[in-house]
Amino acid sequence: MRHAEAEPAKPPGDAAPSGPAGPGRSRRRALTGLLAQPAGALLVVIVAAITVPQYWLFLATSVLVSAVALLGLGIVGRAGMNSLCQLSFAAVGAWTVAQLNVWETPGGLIAWTLAGGLAAMPFGVLIGLPALRLRGVHLAVVTLGFAAAADVVISAVNFPGVDSYQQVLRPGFIATDRQYFVYAGLVFVVAAVGVQWLGGTRTGAAWRAVRFSERATAASGTGVAGAKLSAFALSAFAAGLSGGLLAGQVGMITAQNFGTISSLALFVVAVMAGGEYVGGALLGGVMIMFVPELFRRAGINQDWANVLFGVGAVHALSQGSSVSEGVARRLRARRPAAVPAPRAPVDGGTPPLGTEPLLEVKGLSVRFGQVVALQDVDLVVPEGTVMGLIGPNGAGKSTLTDALSGFLPSATGSVTLAGRPLGGLPVHRRAAAGLRRTFQQDRVPTGLTVGAYLRFAAHRAVPAGELAEVRAFLGCPPPDAHVADLDVGSRRLLEVAAALLARPKLIILDEPAAGLAHAESLALADRLVEVPARYGASVLLIEHDLDMVRRACARVVVLDFGQVIAAGPPAEVLARPEVARAYLGDEVALT
């Protein structure tokens, strides 16, 4: 399992089922893979604790302390957010431990450290709250502001116990520095296993999805707020643990341990080493502690370390990947995932004409300022059918999709799905109510494997067999392929597969064939015809490729200038002169 690094370990009971090895063996392999590395790491820690000289061991403990904080930074990093106040969270953890020590609270250092992690979590959520509205640069400014403010506060007020020279007490079994090193190693390994495990869950996938696209995350039924807040809270938890570890290690803590610039340096090192990977977090910890130390021993000013980190981070960003990500990518390139052959068109039969109304839209209007994007649109999508929605560029097709899926709360009119009014529901609730959509732009999160993405987007526990069935139906790549390595066409199919796996009542496909070859578009059309019968969902297909629309749809609706101008069977509708004028455009009028 040399891949365990690059690929978040899967929960044991949920292991990858496909491949010639069969489910049983691969499950066992996944299980040993999950346990082998931590066991190995612990072995290294114990051997080091016995052999390494005391002085270096103290430094090595500091490495583990920093590595735990870096693991936390990696979590917010996965979710695409920059946190410049990781050490402020660590200070909360250290503070908690110092205070509980002064109070002589029962439970001892280990319980206090846990409490420190927990105490940091509300602060994480607090800083995460602005992240619901702010992103990127603005969020970075907030976190830096928080780091500086926290710096001011903890400099102004001494840590508990400092005035009375009260050292943080260690329990007897981790009293010596050697024992404490093993304890720190254990904490790191547990935290690392936890982070890896979380990365493989739907929550972990949601973090990566949020990083790639918030809209797509919400559209696949996952609340963006929850994903962001959980990332910040867990990141702060890790930082709090690290602060608690530090308090136990040095006994007496001061504000200098948690300076603003140190937080920035930690961020820079995380960028360089790759805090999203366990190996990267460890490497980052090693660099933070050992690089200045080596400089000192070589008689070089320790400040060169930060210069080196700055240059290293710039270099890493110019390469587009951290050290760890580069390694992971190279490992992956050695074993490229097989890309399935494109499917040839197989006649899927006649498109079924549904009877019962599923989606009912009445008087839907959307304005953007002075511009009327949709005006009094009435639309019924029957149950068990494939319906086409066509119209020239700018006719309002994507606006309609956005309005139906809940991205435009200002839309007026009523939308009901299977009798249930959707008005006022946020995007992810509409998804949960059975309305799924895909995006015109490529919105499949890179950084996930095909399997992880499908499980995440399905938003329910999917049996392995079902996953394989849907993949085979559309011709998607194998579950261990990385989305980042796929071409645009495969990603579009993957997005459709994910929507099918969610078992919705209605799927809105926004130009799913963009990026597919013509023959593949037709093959997709044939598959879509089968969707109502196979998966019990109606399809609303927005597409420019009229061949595909003719092939897949039982009915089409034509939109022009925000209004429905025609509806009916494709052959009949496309023959109408006003449709020809609106949709086929000026070619007809000109020649």
Partner 1 sequence: MLEGAIAGLAGGGAYAAFGLCLTLMFRLVRVVNFAQVAIGVIGLYTMAITSEHGWPYGPAALAGLLAATLVAAALGWVMGTWFGEAGADQRSAISIAFLVGLLAVSFLAFGTDPRRMPGKFGGSLFTVDGITVTKASAVCVAGSILVAAGAWLVLTRTVLGLRLRALSERPTTAELHAIPSRRLGVGMWAVTGLLAAAVLLVVAPQQTSDQTSLSLMVIPAGAAALVGGFRSLGRTVAGGLGLGALQGALAHVTELQQYRDTVPFVAILAILIWSQRKEVWDAAR
Partner 2 sequence: MTTVTDLTLADVAVARGGAPIVRDVSLTVPAGEVTVLLGPNGAGKTTLLEAIAGVLPITSGRLTGGGADLAGLDRVARARRGLALVEQGRTVFTSLTVAENLRVVRRGAAAVDRALELFPELDKRMDVQAGLLSGGEQQMVVLARALAMGPSVLLIDEMSLGLAPVIVRRLLPAVRSLADDGVAVLLVEQFATLALGIADTAHVLAGGRLTHSGPAAPLRKSPELLHSAYLGEAAAS
Write the interaction track for partner 2 spanning residues 324-363; mark x where CB under 8 A is met and - where it is not: ---------------------x------------------
Using rule CB under 8 A, residue 207 touches partner 1? no
Stretch that binds partner 2, among 10-18, 224-232, 412-420, 583-591 (CB under 8 A): 583-591
Closest among 362, 360, 365 to 412, alpha carbons compared: 365
| Partner interacting with residue 344 (select from partner 2, partner 1, none; CB below 5-8 Å by kind) | none
- Choice from 3, 429, 544, 576 touching partner 2 (CB under 8 A): 544
Please identify which residue in the block is written with the tokens 């929605």: 389
Stretch that binds partner 1, among 133-141, 174-182, 248-256, 349-357 (CB under 8 A): 133-141
- Choice from 86, 113, 196, 213 touching partner 1 (CB under 8 A): 213
Size of the site for partner 2 (CB under 8 A): 18
Closer CB to partner 1, residue 1 or residue 149? 149
- Choice from 333, 338, 571, 590 touching partner 2 (CB under 8 A): 590
Stretch that binds partner 1, among 52-60, 116-124, 261-269, 342-350 (CB under 8 A): 261-269
Q: Which amino acid is at 126?
A: L
Using rule CB under 8 A, residue 584 touches partner 2? no
- Choice from 68, 182, 192, 268 touching partner 1 (CB under 8 A): 268
Distance separating alpha carbons of residues 234 and 156, to the nearest angstrom: 28
End-to-end CA distance of the chain: 64
Is 345 in contact with 353 (CB distance < 8 Å)?
Answer: no
Closest among 248, 249, 189, 245 to 58, alpha carbons compared: 249
Q: Treating both helix axes as pointing N-terminal to C-terminal, what angle do 304-319 and 260-273 enclose, rounded to 10 degrees?
A: 40
Is 150 in contact with 85 (CB distance < 8 Å)?
Answer: yes
Closer CB to partner 2, residue 8 or residue 562? 562
Closer CB to partner 2, residue 514 or residue 580? 514
Using rule CB under 8 A, residue 261 touches partner 2? no
How many contiguous H segments (helices) and E segments (strands) does the chain have? 23, 10
Distance separating alpha carbons of residues 265 and 272, to the nearest angstrom: 10
Closer CB to partner 2, residue 145 or residue 345? 345
Residues facing 539 on adjacent strands: 386, 507
Write the interaction track for partner 1 spanning residues 411-440; mark x where CB under 8 A is met and - where it is not: -----------------------------x
Is 240 in contact with 146 (CB distance < 8 Å)?
Answer: no
Q: CA of 46: how far to CAs of 50, 138, 169, 193, 252, in Å?
A: 6, 44, 23, 18, 26
| Partner interacting with residue 586 (select from partner 2, partner 1, none; CB below 5-8 Å by kind) | partner 2
Residues facing 420 on adjacent strands: 417
Using rule CB under 8 A, residue 294 touches partner 1? no
Strands (E), 418-548: 420-421, 435-437, 506-510, 538-542
Stretch that binds partner 2, among 176-184, 239-247, 510-518, 566-574 (CB under 8 A): 510-518
| Partner interacting with residue 339 (select from partner 2, partner 1, none; CB below 5-8 Å by kind) | none
Query: At a CB cut-off of 8 Å and minimum separation 6, what does 60 contact?
Result: 48, 52, 181, 289
How many CB atoms are closer than 10 A to CB 136? 10
Distance separating alpha carbons of residues 186 and 194, to the nearest angstrom: 12
Smallest distance from partner 1 to CB 319, Å:
9
Closest among 366, 368, 372, 433 to 401, alpha carbons compared: 366
Using rule CB under 8 A, residue 553 touches partner 2? no
Smallest distance from partner 1 to CB 444, Å:
15
Q: Which amino acid is at 143?
A: T
Using rule CB under 8 A, residue 304 touches partner 1? yes
Distance separating alpha carbons of residues 225 and 223, to the nearest angstrom: 6
| Partner interacting with residue 575 (select from partner 2, partner 1, none; CB below 5-8 Å by kind) | none
| Partner interacting with residue 307 (select from partner 2, partner 1, none; CB below 5-8 Å by kind) | partner 1
Q: CA of 469: how far to CAs of 81, 362, 375, 511, in Å?
A: 35, 37, 41, 23
- Choice from 19, 349, 357, 394 touching partner 2 (CB under 8 A): 394
Closest among 560, 210, 211 to 399, alpha carbons compared: 560
Using rule CB under 8 A, residue 518 touches partner 2? yes
Closer CB to partner 1, residue 21 or residue 314? 314
Closer CB to partner 2, residue 117 or residue 396? 396
Give backbone dihedrals phi and psi of 147, rounded to 5 degrees, phi first: -60, -45
Using rule CB under 8 A, residue 276 touches partner 1? no
Query: At a CB cut-off of 8 Å and minimum separation 6, what does 183 contact?
Result: 174
- Largest Cα–Cα distance in the chain? 93
Stretch that binds partner 2, among 71-79, 163-171, 177-185, 518-526 (CB under 8 A): 518-526
| Partner interacting with residue 130 (select from partner 2, partner 1, none; CB below 5-8 Å by kind) | partner 1
Stretch that binds partner 2, among 26-34, 514-522, 555-563, 567-575 (CB under 8 A): 514-522
| Partner interacting with residue 515 (select from partner 2, partner 1, none; CB below 5-8 Å by kind) | partner 2
- Choice from 303, 356, 487, 578 touching partner 2 (CB under 8 A): 487
Using rule CB under 8 A, residue 326 touches partner 1? no
Using rule CB under 8 A, residue 301 touches partner 1? yes
| Partner interacting with residue 522 (select from partner 1, partner 2, none; CB below 5-8 Å by kind) | partner 2
Using rule CB under 8 A, residue 522 touches partner 2? yes
Query: What is the per-residue DSSP string for 501-534?
Result: HT--SEEEEESTTTTS-HHHHHHHHHHHHHHHHH
Tokens representing residue 580 in the block: 């020809």
Residues facing 379 on adjacent strands: 361
Smallest distance from partner 1 to CB 428, Å:
12
Using rule CB under 8 A, residue 546 touches partner 2? no
H-state helical runs in 79-176: 86-102, 108-131, 136-156
Give me the residues that bind partner 2 (CB under 8 A), please.
345, 393-394, 487-488, 514-515, 517-519, 522, 544, 547, 586-587, 589-591
